Amino acid sequence: MRNYLYGLFLLILCAPAFCQIKKPVIDLILPEQNSKLELLSKKIADNQYFTVNTYIKNLPQTKDRGEILLTVSEKLLPLLKNSPYKANFALYVNSIVYQSENYKNTTALYSDQSMHKQLALISAIYSFTPLRVGIAYQDPHYIYEIEKESKNFPLMNFVIEQATGKTKLRTINRIIQSSDIVLATPESSLYNSQTIRSILLSSYRHQTMIIGPNEGFVNAGALASITTSPEQYTDEIIAMINSYIESNTIPKPRHPSHYSVKLNYSVAESLGIDLQSEAELLQEIAGYELQ
Amino acid sequence: MSRAKNKHIIPLAIIGFSVATPLQANFLSNDDLPIVLTPARLKQSRSEVPASVSVIDREMIKASGLLEIPELFRLIPGTSVGARDGWNYVVSYHGSNYRDSRRMQVLIDGRSVYQAGLATVDWNDIPITIEDIERIEVVRGPSTASYGANAFLGVINIITRHPADIPYLEGSAQRGSEHAENYRISHADEYLGGHYRITIASRHDDGFDIKKNGQERLDSKTVQLFNTRYERQFNNISLSLNLGYKEGRVTDDYSDIDVTSPDTNVDDYYFSSKIEKELSVFHSVKFQYDFSGQQQIHRWTAQIPPFYTDLANNPAPLILVDANEDQQVNRHDIDFQDTYIWNESVTSVAGVHLKQSRVSSETYYGGTIKSNNYQFFYNIEKKLSDKFTVNSGGSYEYEEDIGKNFSPRLAFHYHVNKNNNFRFIYSEAIRTPDLLETSANWTYTGRNIRPANGGPTTAVLLQTAKGNPNLKPELIQSREIGYYGNFYNLHLQWDVKIFSDHLEQLMSNSISLDRFDPVNDSYLKQQGIETEIDYRPSHQWLLHGSYAYIKDESNTNTETTFTPRNSASVLVSYKYTPSIQISLSKYYARAIGTSENKFSRTDIRLSKTISFNKSELELSYSGQYRNDDDSELLRDNIYTNKLRQLLGVTLRY
């Protein structure tokens, strides 16, 4: 009897160990080491669904590998080719760049917002009146995107032109002059710290608004943008990974579902545009998406 | 705190934060974007500008089909435009005296083109073409507080096209009535990290056809010009360089005593440099240096009785003399301006302007004279609340021989909402007498007397004219109530202005040798209403309309002949397809000119653009049809054919 009770005690003591479900291990690969990315890593790790091991630039040794791979930025997309992981997640990658390659067992949360949302923002700002919307692009995929969206926005007359080589700034300038508003694509080869000054000064000279691909553009002098915060990206990628863990199905690549509107009121005021509040525009865009 | 107030504070807070920590929402960005459109760089909104402002943009310029820059101002409400000769245009807001463009300040990229030597703006001598212009901002009302003396009735601010905005190569040719022949080539590219543009142009037309008595008019012009502009950005510094040269020849009608044609050759040249630096996002400074010069060669032979001169002993009944009205004018301007945003509700603009004018002429001045002018100006904008803004400005000016003057301006804006604004403005301005008015020593020296009959070969005309060194500045007191509606989502702008102006100490007498008598003995009162509407419902349509009603009273007819009681303009343009455009415009003014003329004209422009590869070819037709039988401004300004036409071809690459 004494032995039986001792055995029961051991069983009770060890039960939690046997009952505990093993958390999947995520290998998070960062493109570099800096404080912003460390913060991102901590936020992703701070969840109850999986364990996160963080590495810089390279995959871990085979013996140390977890079940799921999560890479951050386009720089690390090469790691997803022939990846040995069952499931791969790419966070903060440009949609056009990602879609230009075929990755197996992989999904992505894009860094850029959908063109549909940005055009919905333009519609909301201009109260759905006829507009010439200029788009300078480098990747021909945008022609397809614009054709698709032109049906959703019949009041918009698109002025589009491919901007390449040495004349890309001149092309963007031409589009600025012949449009009411210009939607900047998230192509860093066109819109970067070297070109932004010339582009924004030209837009201001011609009183043509620019809708930027991110908040940095708005701070620089663009009129508005749909933006997603680091917290929103983090929450959504955790939700995507968790969805995979629960269903064993890799979710489809997507643009961020959570976003906010950023406006530059100083530029608007100088150009005589009466903007609604960011919250009001957000509501209108959401309403537009439901239509 | 209300929403609008928050709106203003939030961007300032964001910018302040961004400067401290250039963190982007883009958390991976290693390519942090600079803040380009800082509050210090952003212009005051049109709804808060302490003046009535009209804008002629590139689309309007193109749609109008006009060839002459001064004619564009027919689109501006209350602005009188007339031609004294085929080459000699006069533009004046609210008209008044047609003899010279003396009371408007005209700037090209910030550089004044007011000719101190002759107290005028000579539109024919401006070394740019209409195609070089991006937009024109017209300040309708006294603006000495911002632009210095001579911004008396208003300011015309011409902004040329930025080199980055124009095609790599553009060539155009036009031919039409009055033997009009215009050729132009422009080229733009990048150089040393900046952008440059070069324009070379040649223009000619014969001017008016006949005088009232049927005699042929001689008022043709032939102009060759060159101008260039270079723009470069160095982080927070903008550099702008401008250079230009114009060579022109105009013909003139013979007077009773002229033996050879009294034609004039005029060379104009200018250099302008501007540096703008942003010391912080709330603080910017601008430094500008301008130099301009003009050399006028005007020589001819006249036949006069010797007793008109100091050669009374010459027995010949008539003698031939070689006379001249040669003149050399130089002008230097230095301008320093400081813009500072003190907080979310107070912005100040202040600066100093130094001007030196120098003119040499044997005939007009008997040598060389110069004049220095010093000006301090400021404007403070204070947002009292969401609804109210007040602008207080002034200009303290000192000119040698004239003395010191202060011109204040006070503007009060009531914003019903962001779209609807009312303004209440009181302003004073001065026009300082020019060198010709104060310092003229006008007489003609005739050389090569023939027959000399053994006597001297040089003579001096007995008739002379002297400037009046005791002249005071002309004064204007202006009161206006205005409305400005900007319905940006309808692409509609509407402006209304009700005004009452009182001008005094005017110098109204003609600037000519036989009647030269500059005195401050005239006054002029003007009251009226004017309105302007600009509606562009889609990219295909452009509608612009203006109307002005002005009632005036003066002690001299000279000050009222150039002010039509009613004037109006309409410009309608439609793009049938992106490549086909048709524009119609109508201009009306009555009564204007010495014979209380009517001016009524309908213009049409048709254009077709053909694109191929990276180039485009534009074919255009412009027609101007006079709907009345009156002469233009003066009785001898008559075109024999009511319809003037022009065909043009432009190639862009």
Q: Which residues of B touch A127 (CB under 8 A)?
A: 489
At A137, the pLDDT band (50, 70, 90 cuts) reads very high
Put simply, the answer to whether A37 touches B134 (Cβ < 8 Å) is no
| Interface contacts A/B by beta carbons within 8 Å | 135
- Does residue B100 contact residue B80 with C-beta atoms inside 8 Å? no
Please check the confidence at residue B323 and state whether its pLDDT lies above 80: yes
Within 8 A by CB and 6+ apart from B4, the residues are B386, B418
**Mutant choice from A262, A269, A271 vs B, greatest count of B C-beta within 10 A:** A269
Which residue among A127, A132, A265 sits closest to B539, beta carbon to beta carbon? A132
Q: Which residues of A touch B166 (CB under 8 A)?
A: none
Which residue among A170, A215, A267 sits closest to B24, beta carbon to beta carbon? A215
Which residue among A170, A214, A219 sits closest to B18, beta carbon to beta carbon? A219
In this prediction, residue B621 carries a pLDDT of: 98
- Which amino acid is present at A6? Y
Instruction: Tell me which H or E stretch contains B116.
Output: none
Burial tier of B237 (Cβ tally within 10 Å: 0-12, 13-18, 19+): exposed
- Which amino acid is present at B418? K
DSSP annotation of B120 reads B
In this prediction, residue B240 carries a pLDDT of: 97
- Does residue B56 contact residue B74 with C-beta atoms inside 8 Å? no
Give the chain B residue whose CA is nearest to the CA of A161.
B614
Q: Helices A35-45 and A230-247: crossing angle, nearest 10°?
A: 40
In this prediction, residue A291 carries a pLDDT of: 54
Q: Which residues of B touch A90 (CB under 8 A)?
A: none
Whether the bond into A45 is cis, omega within 30 of 0? no
In this prediction, residue B356 carries a pLDDT of: 93
Please check the confidence at residue B535 and state whether its pLDDT lies above 60: yes
If one looks up domain A22-111+231-247 in CATH, what number appears? 3.40.50.2300
Please check the confidence at residue B21 and state whether its pLDDT lies above 60: no
Return the CATH fold of A115-223+264-290: Rossmann fold (3.40.50)
Instruction: Output phi, psi for B537, to 5 deg.
Output: -60, -30
In this prediction, residue B26 carries a pLDDT of: 52
pLDDT digits over B253-301, tens only? Answer: 999 999 999 999 999 999 999 999 999 989 999 999 999 999 999 999 9
Which residue among A36, A197, A227 sits closest to B34, beta carbon to beta carbon? A197
A38 vs A246: CA distance, rounded Å: 27
Distance of residue A34 Cα from the nearest chain B Cα, in angstroms: 10
More confident residue, A167 or B14: A167
At B391, the pLDDT band (50, 70, 90 cuts) reads very high
pLDDT digits over A49-59, tens only? Answer: 889 999 998 89
Within 8 A by CB and 6+ apart from B372, the residues are B354, B355, B356, B399, B400
Beta partners for A260?
A227
Residues in chain A: 291
In this prediction, residue A1 carries a pLDDT of: 54
Do A22-111+231-247 and A115-223+264-290 agree at the fold level? yes
B135 vs B61: CA distance, rounded Å: 8
Determine the average pLDDT of the residues in A24-47: 88
Put simply, the answer to whether A216 touches B44 (Cβ < 8 Å) is no
Please tell me chain B's helix, strand, coil percentages from 3-state DSSP, rounded to the nearest 5: 10, 55, 35
Distance of residue B210 Cα from the nearest chain A Cα, in angstroms: 43
In this prediction, residue A8 carries a pLDDT of: 56
Put simply, the answer to whether A272 touches B488 (Cβ < 8 Å) is yes
Q: Which residues of A touch B488 (CB under 8 A)?
A: 126, 272-274
pLDDT digits over B554-588, tens only? Answer: 999 989 999 999 999 999 999 998 899 999 999 99
Domain ranges of chain A: 22-111+231-247, 115-223+264-290
In this prediction, residue A289 carries a pLDDT of: 64
Termini Cα distance of chain A: 73
How high is the mean pLDDT of chain B? 90
In this prediction, residue B35 carries a pLDDT of: 80
Q: Which residues of A touch B29 (CB under 8 A)?
A: 214, 216
In this prediction, residue B46 carries a pLDDT of: 85
Please check the confidence at residue B439 and state whether its pLDDT lies above 80: yes
How many CB atoms are closer than 10 A to CB B88? 21
Distance of residue A147 Cα from the nearest chain B Cα, in angstroms: 19
Which residue among B34, B37, B165 sits closest to A267, beta carbon to beta carbon? B37
- Does residue B70 contact residue B82 with C-beta atoms inside 8 Å? no
Please check the confidence at residue A65 and state whether its pLDDT lies above 50: yes
pLDDT digits over A211-243, tens only? Answer: 988 888 999 999 999 999 888 999 999 999 999
Please check the confidence at residue A269 and state whether its pLDDT lies above 60: yes
More confident residue, B530 or A170: B530
Between A34-38, B69-73, B81-85, B613-617, the lowest mean confidence (pLDDT) is in A34-38
Q: Which region holds residue B256: left if phi is over 0, alpha if psi is between -120 and 50, else beta?
A: alpha
**Mutant choice from B27, B278, B420 vs A, greatest count of A C-beta within 10 A:** B27
pLDDT digits over B124-177, tens only? Answer: 888 999 999 999 999 999 988 788 777 899 999 999 999 999 999 999 999 999
Residues in chain B: 653
In this prediction, residue A18 carries a pLDDT of: 45
ipTM of the complex: 0.84
pLDDT digits over B97-111, tens only? Answer: 887 778 999 999 999
**B148, B149, B150, B152: CA torsion to nearest 10:** 90
Q: What is the 3-state secondary structure (H, E, C) of A205-225?
A: HCCCEEECCCHHHHHHCCCEE
Put simply, the answer to whether A219 touches B15 (Cβ < 8 Å) is yes
Whether the bond into B262 is cis, omega within 30 of 0? no
Strands B643-652 and B169-176: antiparallel
Please check the confidence at residue B235 and state whether its pLDDT lies above 60: yes
